[in-house]
Structure 1
Amino acid sequence: MSRLIVISNRVSAGGGAQGGLAVALSAALREHGGIWFGWSGNETSEFTGHINMERVDGVTTATVDLEEQDIEEYYDGYANRTLWPLFHYRIDLAEYERSFADGYKRANERFAETALPLIEPDDLVWVQDYHMFPLGKELRARGVENRIGFFLHIPWPPRRLLATLPEARALTESLLAYDLIGFHTEEWLQSFCDYVSHELGGTIGDDGWLSVGERRVRLIACPVGIDAKEFAALAASEKAKETYERVRVSAVGRTMIVGVDRLDYSKGLEERFLGYERFLVEHPEERKEVTLLQIAPPSRGTVDSYQRIRSTLEGLAGRINGAHAGLDWVPIRYVNQGYTRDMLAGVYRASKVGLVTPLRDGMNLVAKEYVAAQDPGDPGVLILSRFAGAAEQMPEALLVNPHSAEEISDALSRAITMPGEERIRRWRTLMNGVEQHDVTWWSKHFTDALKDCHEHACGSVHRN
């Protein structure tokens, strides 16, 4: 079996409070063997290309340090101040600086040069996400003829939004160096096809192959999952049980509503708080019978827009609590720190409502983790934004427009009063989907498709 070489911006193969992508990729690497390569997260005074090799929880990692200028221009700049807001439909927050684009190109060249010695002839190379759009092209320029796949974990924006990016055409053309490009949903895939067909003259066949001139690339929609069995087992662990009891006791018999999100403007946290406040106003009989626990660990603190969202949420939570709290009740518990996955599993199980309301999200694995953590005999209710990629797979959740405070309020009322029989029926259907399309299915589906990209089908994509 071919080894798998995963290349991503950050490497996080250890335990603890990993994000959904880290958990998914670690599981894929344990299944296939291979190496996970990327940035260490550390800064160096001079880029040398020195690789730090480690073996963590059954996964071999290879990391490099970046210079301060690379971090500022490639990561803080182009990735997080240009691409992230644009691809989440926030062109009002996108910053188009030529130095950012130059730093992005330079960092990807350095990643390609450093990763090159790690790649053996039969390896499958799997590049992850928007930080590394041009990495495949850079690897091809250095003679790599392996099958290389790319997976985008965020939305692909509509053509007219993407057109605001000065480098849109060149960035999209660089993706043609890959043999396979994966998206979470058909919506994101079709947005990509729309841009390529209108701007690059590409055609998409019924067989899922994109042709641009002599170049051919296979496109697939392949929604990422979680390790459902492992997460359900976590919910039964001693740490989860201890956390469950702490949360239940602290709720003092009240219904717990939970939100768990990285502190980011795409997650709809401000809209969520306003929707919850609307619920408190419209349902005074429930006011002191519910509590919203919002866990939002900070991220990208050096970026101005993230500092603003943190300040906004702190002010909003304070205003809502000040207006509605009583001597023995606070409507919002707002926590700016992360927790380990076993602790989160206990929090999810103790919460009768999971509130997942991003304004735009490539997938959202919190929704799937919430479902996997539930007690089958007394499950909670998932409220999910229809603009999350997960909504395509999870129609049995209560789907809402996160921009509408009324819809959030109505969904909260329905979730809290939902009969047990309906909660169990919805949960069973949701859980079946989470188990069927888990992380193993995702990685196998993608890597099998990459293996099927034979020389005669994909060779013209990158070999000139």
Structure 2
Amino acid sequence: MSRLVIISNRVSAPTSESGAQGGLAVALSAALQESNGVWFGWSGEETDHYTGHINFQRNFGVTTATIDLEAQDIDEYYNGFANRTLWPLFHYRVDLAEYERGFAGGYERVNARFADTVVPLIEDEDLVWVNDYHLIPLGQKLRDRGCANRIGFFLHIPWPPMRLLHSLPSHLALVTSLFAYDVVGFQTEDSLEAFLDYARHQLDVEVDAEGFVAYQGRTVRLIACPIGIDAVEFRASANGPVAAEIHGQMVSSANGRAMIIGVDRLDYSKGLQERFLGYERFLASQPQRQGGVFLLQIAPPSRADVQSYQDIRATLDELSGRINGEFADFNWVPIRYVNKGYPREELAGMFRAARVGLVTPLRDGMNLVAKEYVAAQDPEDPGVLILSRFAGAADQLTDALLVNPHSPEEIADAIAQALAMPREERVARWRPMIANIEEQDVLWWRRRFTDALESVQPAAVSAS
């Protein structure tokens, strides 16, 4: 395949402890290793004055190229427009979205800086793959600078319904900028249809049978392409020595109790408050289960500079304390709430030790934790996945116990059902889920997207 130039907001250089990387980092690293490509983006570091200097590194088969950003860039582009405007809006939380001109200006400025800096790195035959909501206008800015390569864009989070998107002052410019790409990928058919609904009503366009949409002389192919995990690697991790040691520790720590596990970044979209309330309802309605089960919730903090993230942390601290205070006994605590992250090899051992995996986001583009939980299970004695209907993964993992995360009663009932489920039913539910995860893994995702990108005709570049 052609060389890939992958562009994302952050770059996470592979390390010898690759398990510390998130799902997206693992997915992109695998694609780059296969294509001998380059991964470009922000280093995560701050500089006093933006210079455009690129720091090149090569680690474990992946070449990375990173830039530092000024404090104003980070405040307006990242903390501002990306995470206080687009993130809540795209996750259906219009009530939390903040609209400030300074945020929008910083978003445009940083996208322009990305374009100026990365253009010299792009060779004639390269495929350019832009990732996620931070960089929606980047394709148009690359075209404005003469880039005629095939350029694709993949959105890792949900695309919101038209009526919600209308609340964004710059919604029309944001949507039309996507027509600078040759391929635009979404996690689910639901997100793709939401985009098309906007395009039909606001731009008066139609889609053909192969997913192509034309607007003002530009044609883009739209595809639904759910991201997967490296299922083979993760299952191997779950059977490895690190996971085995952690599994043994968790079994010993559980002391005969059934463990329920949740692993989520600390974010209001993950439904953690609703999850705690559902678990509380379970404890109250199943008094005979008290003392025989516990919830391990791992929730590493993120975006600590954004007020809404400070608020959710304070809420969860209060909730976990109240639930433990109400139900705990001298030798049992119902919630173990941990604000730190763990390497993937260790998480694999925790997943295997858990009788129930609780994945209940209010809205999620995909949610790879659901897939990792399933992949980590013992085929002879698997646990049960409880999954939100509003996670993209619910379209694929239909044999999970699907719940409405807004309903404490549904969560409580699903926990009770999962804990009582006989082994035969657990195995019968697990097998089709692991088959899907192994078939539509991260390599399938990458090939589906890059094959679509390679199959289109290169764009004609108009003058800026």
Q: 2:75 aligns with which of 66, 72, 78?
A: 72
Corresponding residue pairs, total: 461
* Alignment of 1:129 onto 2:132: yes
Equivalent-residue separation in structure 1 for 2:248 and 2:101 (angstroms): 52
Is the aligned partner of 1:384 residue 2:382?
Answer: no
The root-mean-square deviation of aligned C-alpha atoms, in Å, is 1.0
The answer to whether 1:11 aligns with 2:7 is no
User: Residue 203 of structure 1 contacts residue 212 of structure 1 at CA under 8 Å; is this kept in 2?
Assistant: no
Q: CA deviation at 1:463?
A: 7.4
The match for 2:122 is 119
- Correspondence for 1:30 among 30, 33, 47: 33
Deviation at 1:58, TM superposition (A): 1.5
Distance 2:218 2:30 in 1: 32
Measure the CA separation in 1 of the matches of 2:53 and 2:167: 37
Rounded to whole Å, the distance in 2 between the matches of 1:122 and 1:25 is 19
Partner secondary structure for residue 60 of structure 1? strand
Separation of aligned partners in 1, 2:284 and 2:238:
34
Report if the CA contact (8 A) 2:144-2:463 is conserved: no
| Preserved contact between residue 232 and residue 373 of structure 1 (Cα < 8 Å) | yes
Q: Give the match for residue 373 of structure 2.
A: 370
CA drift of 1:13 comes to 3.1
1:356 aligns with 359
Q: Contact 2:90/2:157 (CA < 8 Å) preserved in 1? A: yes
Classify 1:445/1:463 alpha carbon distance in 2 versus 1 (closer, same or farther; 3 Å): farther
Q: What is the letter of the counterpart of residue 102 of structure 2?
A: S
Q: CA deviation at 1:213?
A: 3.3
Measure the CA separation in 2 of the matches of 1:417 and 1:263: 29
Residue equivalent to 1:328: 331
Contact 2:271–2:362 (8 Å) recurs in 1? yes
Instruction: Give 1:201's match in structure 2, choosing from 204, 228, 231.
Output: 204
- 1:82 maps to 85
Instruction: State how far apart, in whole Å, the 1-side matches of 2:412 and 2:133 are.
Output: 34
In the alignment, structure 1 segments of 5+ residues that lack a partner are none
Contact 1:202 1:213 in 2 (8 A): no
Aligned residue in 1 for 2:282? 279
TM-score w.r.t. the length of structure 2 is 0.98
Matches within 5 A, 1:280-319: 280-319=283-322
Give the partner amino acid of 1:118: L
SS in structure 2 at match of 1:92: helix
Q: Is this contact kept in 2: 1:127–1:149, CA < 8 A?
A: yes
Alignment partners' CA distance in 1, 2:414 and 2:25 = 31
Rounded to whole Å, the distance in 2 between the matches of 1:198 and 1:29 is: 38
Q: Which amino acid aligns with 2:333?
A: V
Provide the residue aligned with 2:269 in structure 1. 266
Corresponding residue of 1:179: 182
State the secondary structure of the residue aligned to 1:189.
helix
Q: Which residue of 1 aligns with 2:162?
A: 159
Structure 1 Cα separation of the partners of residues 442 and 210 of structure 2: 25
Q: Percent identity?
A: 65
Q: Separation in 1 of the partners of 2:146 and 2:214? A: 22
Shift of 1:416: 0.4
- Quote the Cα distance in structure 1 between the aligned partners of 2:9 and 2:108: 13
> Contact (CA 8 Å) 1:356, 1:366: kept in 2 or not?
yes
Amino acid at match of 1:4: L
Query: How many angstroms apart in 1 are the aligned matches of 2:103 and 2:379?
Result: 49
SS in 2 for 1:446: helix
- The runs of at least 4 aligned residues of structure 1 exceeding 3 Å deviation read none
TM-score (norm 1): 0.98
